[in-house]
Structure formats: structure tokens, C-alpha cells
């Protein structure tokens, strides 16, 4: 392996990366390695090294030599010349030349257990409910003003959970006593829920006693304008039409007149159901229904569509089929024609009222008349529109079939008119069921409106990108908007610094000398920056609602 050294009995190879021609100060500060090798018979040269120069100073006082031949006369090699540096000197110089690695200051990792959550905040309502306290018990506790999550208030008061727990122990004496009081109150609450109907009746009587008539006046005003007015007009007219058509059917026995009477009865019942849905939809949100009751109009319209199909179309088909199977002679149709003419005028008037209301609402929503009807923006007015349109067409169809029966004397034409009215009602009911079901499922708004809302957020300097946008129509042209927002941390931080005293912050930075002081400085300003980020979210939500009144609920999640 080393032919030039094959005949030497002793050889020690020390690879210290020596450069004899260069001074020691110019040598590379590489870590020295001691390498010993020997050769004997089938043994090949082997190498081992000290990986760190600091280890070399542990025991270099004596260097042993190993013989690779069996001759005991072999001795150690001749000492090196005086000019050549020894291994000890080289290693010590290398240790001194190696720069010391800097020590990094690392903060101790902190374990956040259950004790740390005692610093959480709790509202006064939760403190009284969860810890069985009174308002007077909270008066002596520390109060902290925090940013309010509600639009109508800028800040609200919270308490430290640890203070509340300590006060609860002070009031009740022990954790066991507090637990017993909680269980007792849960039993009382359970009894209250079991008698909820009685309590609601008492609450209504209490409001009536104190003259709380605001909900009633609001409900009354609902039926004096808009969809409520259209529905009330339709109920009155269809009720009168049913009464007169029923008299005409009793007098003439016409199948078409019977279908028209059933049609008017179905319209009256369905519109009464719509009035109930409108009155329920204006109720204020409560704890059980935080988004309100606006979908009650869609539910009432859906049930109305099913009622038209079962009661209107079903009975009309049945009576028409029975007239074809068992035809009967028809009496004088003069009174029937007069009543149909009156129904045509009244149903046409109701239809015009519904058309005018939809045109007005479509103009306010900046959509066409067709889009407003197809999207079921106002289900109550849509039902009145379609029912009255079907009523006008049904009157014309019934009068035509009755006229053919009068001219030919064949009662089959009258039965065919009943089947035609039933088919018309079936088509109307199918359309109402489909549109209201789509609305109740939570359909998305138009892509143009979604793009408008997204562009508004993306044009804000604090927003870098918008992801996972969901804009859902929750009923009555109200929109719920949700999006994942990637905020620009630099803009948020700059917004925070604009409200601070920069000279004071610089003074605080200069006073930081230890890792603990640095940690306290960062924790103080870090929490304030998080509050600033929350304020930015509130600002965007508020501006989004102001610029787009149809957006009632905004949920911006920080990405």
C-alpha cells in the first residue's frame, strides 16, 4: 500500500495537516486528527482519529510505539530534528487557534397547564350562572375592559376566572358546597323546562300587564305594507270567491265550477298559512334561534305548495275523472258565468297587486322581475302571484269548457276543464315546492355578488388574500358571508405602532438586557398586536355590512 515504506520496521504516521513551509499563524484552524497505522502480514493499514481537538489535550504526555515485526531489537524511531515541531505543540496551537463557539440564549420552554387558564376572562353572566354568584358578589372583584364582540358596544367588562373562583369558594365555603348548589339549580332549571308552556303564558300576561305592545304593533305594521298587505288582500278576495263559487256549484252541479270552488278554498287556506309564516318571520332572534325566524316564510310557502297539490290539484283531478266516468246533465250555467266573471275581475285585481309589489321589490334588489320570481326572493308574494295567475287562467279555462258544454250539450268538456284546472294547480305547486326547498337548503348567492364582496375585502391594505369564500342566502334577501382571510402582519403591526409612543418603546427596548426582560417586552406588545388584529377583523365586518346592507352575518376567520 506504501511501497516506499515497505522495508522500514517502525513507522508511525501522524496526519496533523502540518504545513512546514507555512508559519503556524497562517494554518487553517481545522480540527487535527491523529492517525496511527501499521502493517504486518495480512494486516492492512488502519486509521483512527480524535474527532475533537479538545480531546487531544487529555493524555499526550506519553506516545507509545507498536512494532510491526517480530524482532525485539527494534527500537523507537529516531527523534525528529530540533527544527520540526512536536505533536504536542501542534495540537496545543490548534486548540488555541480554534475559535470558541458562541452560546445562544434560549428561553425555557413553558408548560401551560390547567393553572395557566385561571388567567382567562369570564363575563358577569357566566360568573353568576356557573359559580352561583350574585351581582353584589362581583362588585369587589377586579374589572377589566376588553374589546366587545358585538357591533352595538365598543367595550365590555370581564373578570379574571381565578378571582371569580376564589369569590365562589369564599361565598359557598368549599367546592363541595358549590357543586351541591349547582346541582340544585340544575334541578330547578329542569323543572322550569318541563313547565315551559305555563311559563311562557305567564310571561305574555306579564308583558300585557306592563303595556308591552311593541311586538304587537310591529306585527300589525307587517300586514299593512309589502308582502303582508298582498297576502291579506288575497285572503279576503279568495274567501269571497270560494263562497260564491260554492253556491254556483250547488246550483249548477258543474264539475268545472266545483274545481274552481276547491281552487279558491285552497288559495284561501294557503294564504292564511302564509300570513302565519309572515307573522312568525318577524320575531326577534333568541338563544335557540340566533339567526332569527326569517325562514318561516319559506316553510309556510313550502307547506302551501304541498297543500295546493294535495287539496287543489288532487280534488280537481278526482272530480274530473269521476265526471268522465259518470257524466251527469248540467243545469243552467247563467249564474255560473256571472260568478266566474266576478272571480276573473277580483283575481285579476289581486294579481295586479302582487305584480306591482314584486316589481317594486325587484327594483330595490337591482334584479329583473323574472330573476326575482325564479330566485324566490320573497316566497309569500311569489305564492300569491302564482296562485292568482293560476286562478285567472283557471277561470278562463273553466268558462271555455263550460261554454263548449252549453253549445254541444256534452258534459265531457266540463270534466276536461276540471282536469285542466287540476293540471294547472299541479304545475304551480311543483314550482313552489322546488323553489322553497332550494331556499331552505341554503343556496349560494349569485357569483357577481360574491365577487363584489371578495373584491371589497381584497382591496383593503390589511388583507393579503381571501380563501374559502361562502356566501349563503338565509332568506328574505339576507346573506351570511364567511371567508378565510390572510392578513398582512406588517400592516397590522404598523397600525398598532401608529397608536403608540415610539420614543417610549425605544426606551423600553434599550433597557432590555436579559432573556426574561425580552420575554416580558414581547408578551406585552404581542398581546396588544393580537387585540389590534381583532379590531381589524371587526372593522372589516362593520364596513362590509355598511356597504352591503343585505349582508347581515359576517364570519371572517384568520388564516
* Judgement on whether residues 381 and 494 belong to the same structural domain of the protein: no
Asked if residue 300 is part of any domain, the answer here is: yes
Asked if residue 36 is part of any domain, the answer here is: no
What pLDDT digit, counting tens, does each position of 416-443 carry? 888 888 898 889 889 888 888 888 887 8
* Judgement on whether residues 181 and 311 belong to the same structural domain of the protein: no
Angle between helix 314-325 and 255-281 (nearest 10): 170
* Judgement on whether residues 276 and 162 belong to the same structural domain of the protein: no
Average pLDDT for the chain: 75
C-alpha cell at 215: 311586538
* Judgement on whether residues 542 and 472 belong to the same structural domain of the protein: yes
* Judgement on whether residues 386 and 300 belong to the same structural domain of the protein: yes
* Judgement on whether residues 230 and 366 belong to the same structural domain of the protein: yes
pLDDT at 211 > cutoff 80:
no
What pLDDT digit, counting tens, does each position of 460-484 carry? 999 999 999 999 887 777 889 999 9
Asked if residue 517 is part of any domain, the answer here is: yes
Asked if residue 200 is part of any domain, the answer here is: yes
- What does DSSP say about strands 144-147 and 121-122: parallel, antiparallel, or unpaired? unpaired
Of 441, 472, 499, the residue that ends a domain is 441
Query: Which helix or strand (DSSP H or E) is residue 144 part of?
Result: strand 144-147
Measured CA to CA, the distance from residue 518 to residue 261 in angstroms comes to 85
Domain CATH code at residue 270: 1.20.1510.10
What pLDDT digit, counting tens, does each position of 62-97 carry? 444 444 444 444 444 445 444 555 555 544 555 455
* Judgement on whether residues 384 and 436 belong to the same structural domain of the protein: yes
Measured CA to CA, the distance from residue 264 to residue 239 in angstroms comes to 7
What separation in angstroms does the CA of 319 have from each of 267, 279, 327, 425?
18, 35, 11, 14
Q: Which domain holds residue 179?
A: 121-207
- Average pLDDT for 256-268: 78
Measured CA to CA, the distance from residue 267 to residue 273 in angstroms comes to 10
The residue to which cell 481537538 is assigned: 53
Weakest mean pLDDT among 101-110, 133-142, 456-465: 101-110
Weakest mean pLDDT among 136-140, 325-329, 426-430: 325-329
Contact 345, 393 (CB under 8 A): no
* Judgement on whether residues 266 and 341 belong to the same structural domain of the protein: yes
DSSP state string for 146-187: EE-SSSS-SEEEEEEHHHHHHHHHHHHSSHHHHHHHHHHHHH
- Three-state secondary-structure class, residue 141: coil
pLDDT score recorded for residue 100: 53
| Count of domains observed in the chain | 3
Give per-residue burial for 293-320: e unless 16+ CB within 10 Å, then b. Answer: bbbbbbbbbbbbbebbbebbbbbbbebb
- Average pLDDT for 321-327: 84
* Judgement on whether residues 312 and 426 belong to the same structural domain of the protein: yes
Asked if residue 424 is part of any domain, the answer here is: yes
**Residue 484: which of 445, 454, 523, 520 has the closest Cα?**
454
pLDDT score recorded for residue 144: 86
Measured CA to CA, the distance from residue 81 to residue 506 in angstroms comes to 64
* Judgement on whether residues 494 and 530 belong to the same structural domain of the protein: yes
pLDDT at 485 > cutoff 90:
yes
pLDDT score recorded for residue 204: 63
Find the angle CA(262)-CA(312)-CA(388) to the nearest 5 degrees. Answer: 80
Higher pLDDT, 397 or 94: 397
Of 154, 175, 207, the residue that ends a domain is 207
pLDDT score recorded for residue 47: 39
Asked if residue 214 is part of any domain, the answer here is: no
Q: How confident is the model at residue 7 (pLDDT cuts 50, 70, 90)?
A: very low
pLDDT score recorded for residue 293: 83
pLDDT score recorded for residue 86: 57
First to last CA, the chain: 65
Contact 450, 423 (CB under 8 A): no
In the chain, the percentage of residues whose pLDDT exceeds 90 is: 12
pLDDT score recorded for residue 197: 61
Asked if residue 75 is part of any domain, the answer here is: no
The residue to which cell 306591482 is assigned: 356
Domain CATH code at residue 500: 3.30.70.1350
In the chain, the percentage of residues whose pLDDT exceeds 70 is: 72
Cβ-Cβ contacts under 8 Å for 558 (sequence gap 6 or more):
485, 487, 533, 537
Of 207, 237, 270, the residue that ends a domain is 207
- Average pLDDT for 354-358: 86
* Judgement on whether residues 465 and 510 belong to the same structural domain of the protein: yes
* Judgement on whether residues 273 and 398 belong to the same structural domain of the protein: yes
What pLDDT digit, counting tens, does each position of 246-259 carry? 888 887 777 777 87
Asked if residue 302 is part of any domain, the answer here is: yes
The reported pTM is 0.56
Amino acid at each position: 500500500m506504501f511501497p516506499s515504506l515497505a522495508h522500514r520496521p517502525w513507522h508511525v504516521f501522524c496526519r496533523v495537516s502540518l504545513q512546514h513551509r507555512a508559519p503556524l499563524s497562517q494554518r487553517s484552524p481545522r480540527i487535527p486528527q491523529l492517525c496511527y497505522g501499521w502493517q504486518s502480514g495480512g494486516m492492512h493499514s488502519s486509521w483512527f482519529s480524535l474527532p475533537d481537538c479538545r480531546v487531544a489535550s487529555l493524555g499526550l504526555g506519553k506516545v507509545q510505539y507498536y512494532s510491526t515485526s517480530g524482532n525485539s531489537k527494534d527500537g523507537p524511531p529516531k527523534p525528529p530534528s530540533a527544527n520540526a515541531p512536536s505533536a504536542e505543540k501542534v495540537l496545543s496551537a490548534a486548540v488555541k487557534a480554534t475559535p470558541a463557539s458562541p452560546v445562544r440564549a434560549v428561553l425555557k420552554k413553558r408548560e401551560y397547564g390547567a393553572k395557566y387558564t385561571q388567567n382567562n376572562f369570564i363575563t358577569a353572566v357566566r360568573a353568576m350562572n356557573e359559580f352561583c354568584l350574585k351581582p353584589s358578589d362581583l362588585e369587589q372583584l377586579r374589572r377589566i375592559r376588553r374589546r366587545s364582540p358585538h357591533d352595538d358596544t365598543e367595550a365590555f367588562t370581564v373578570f379574571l376566572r381565578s378571582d371569580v373562583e376564589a369569590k365562589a369558594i369564599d361565598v359557598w365555603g368549599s367546592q363541595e358546597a358549590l357543586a351541591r348548589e349547582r346541582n340544585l339549580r340544575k334541578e330547578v332549571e329542569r323543572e322550569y323546562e318541563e313547565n315551559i308552556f305555563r311559563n311562557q303564558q305567564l310571561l305574555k300576561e306579564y308583558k300585557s300587564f306592563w303595556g308591552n305592545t311593541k311586538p304587537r304593533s310591529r306585527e300589525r305594521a307587517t300586514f299593512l305594507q309589502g308582502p303582508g298587505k298582498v297576502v291579506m288582500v288575497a285572503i279576503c278576495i279568495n274567501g269571497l270567491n270560494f263562497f260564491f263559487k260554492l253556491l254556483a256549484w250547488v246550483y249548477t252541479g258543474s264539475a268545472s265550477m266545483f274545481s274552481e270552488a276547491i281552487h279558491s278554498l285552497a288559495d284561501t287556506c294557503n294564504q292564511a298559512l302564509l300570513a302565519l309564516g309572515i307573522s312568525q318571520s318577524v320575531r326577534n332572534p333568541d338563544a335557540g334561534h340566533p339567526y332569527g325566524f326569517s325562514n318561516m316564510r319559506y316553510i309556510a310557502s313550502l307547506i302551501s305548495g304541498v297543500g295546493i297539490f294535495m287539496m287543489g290539484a288532487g280534488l280537481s283531478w278526482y272530480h274530473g275523472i269521476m265526471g268522465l266516468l259518470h257524466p251527469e246533465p248540467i243545469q243552467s250555467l247563467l249564474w255560473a258565468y256571472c260568478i266566474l266573471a266576478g272571480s276573473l275581475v277580483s283575481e285579476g285585481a289581486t294579481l295586479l297587486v302582487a305584480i306591482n309589489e314584486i316589481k317594486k321589490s325587484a327594483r330595490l334588489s337591482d334584479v329583473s322581475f323574472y330573476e326575482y320570481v325564479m330566485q324566490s326572493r320573497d316566497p309569500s308574494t311569489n305564492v300569491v302571484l302564482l296562485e292568482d295567475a293560476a286562478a285567472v287562467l283557471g277561470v278562463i279555462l273553466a268558462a271555455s269548457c263550460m261554454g263548449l258544454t252549453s253549445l254541444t250539450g256534452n258534459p265531457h268538456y266540463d270534466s276536461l276543464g276540471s282536469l285542466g284546472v287540476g293540471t294547472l294547480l299541479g304545475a304551480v305547486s311543483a314550482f313552489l315546492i322546488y323553489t322553497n326547498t332550494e331556499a331552505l337548503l341554503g343556496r349560494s348567492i349569485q357569483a357577481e355578488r360574491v365577487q363584489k364582496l371578495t373584491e371589497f375585502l381584497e382591496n383593503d391594505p390589511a388583507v393579503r388574500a381571501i380563501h374559502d369564500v361562502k356566501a349563503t342566502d338565509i332568506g328574505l334577501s339576507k346573506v351570511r358571508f364567511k371567508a378565510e382571510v390572510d392578513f398582512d402582519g406588517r400592516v397590522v403591526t404598523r397600525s398598532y405602532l401608529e397608536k403608540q409612543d415610539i420614543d417610549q418603546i425605544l426606551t423600553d427596548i434599550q433597557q432590555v438586557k436579559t432573556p426574561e426582560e425580552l420575554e416580558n417586552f414581547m408578551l406585552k406588545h404581542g398581546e396588544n398586536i393580537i387585540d389590534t388584529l381583532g379590531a381589524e377583523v371587526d372593522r372589516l365586518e362593520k364596513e362590509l355590512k355598511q356597504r352591503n346592507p343585505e349582508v347581515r352575518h359576517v364570519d371572517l376567520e384568520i388564516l
